[in-house]
Amino acid sequence: MYQNLIAKELESVGAHLYFYTNGEACLEDLGKNPSIIVMDYNLDGELNGLDTIQRVRTINPDVYVILFSSQKGLNTKEVFLKYGSFDFLEKNSFSLSALRKMVDCVTLDPDKGLQN
């Protein structure tokens, strides 16, 4: 459900934004030089979101990654940011407008830099 809503919301952003539900597919597509990757923590395949982010950072440290998840914990957001996510959204408070603002922030201000 989330994937369809996100894909529809972000389709107008442009060709350099990619949305993934599979970590392996994300890594295979890094040759397309995405500017922004949006993905769930719980991905299809063998890699979860954190595994995928770590590998993305090794291959292309400049790509912005926005991760969303229903994972709960005292420091979930901090852990995801530490692994290289530009930002994080919780599914239970998930808002397409918040995601759109994050994407707009990156596309309108590319010098903002990653939050590590």
- pLDDT tens string 43-77: 889 998 889 999 998 999 888 888 877 766 656 67
Question: What is the percent of the chain where pLDDT is above 70?
Answer: 71
86-95: pLDDT as tens digits? 777 776 666 6
Give buried/exposed letters for 37-46 (b at 16+ CB in 10 A, else e). bbbbbebeee
Q: Strand ranges (DSSP E) for the chain?
A: 17-22, 36-44, 64-69, 87-90
What structural domains and CATH numbers belong to the chain?
2-105 (3.40.50.2300)
9-39: pLDDT as tens digits? 666 666 578 888 899 999 999 998 888 888 8
112 CB neighbour count, 10 Å cutoff? 11
Give the pLDDT confidence score for residue 103 in this predicted structure: 79
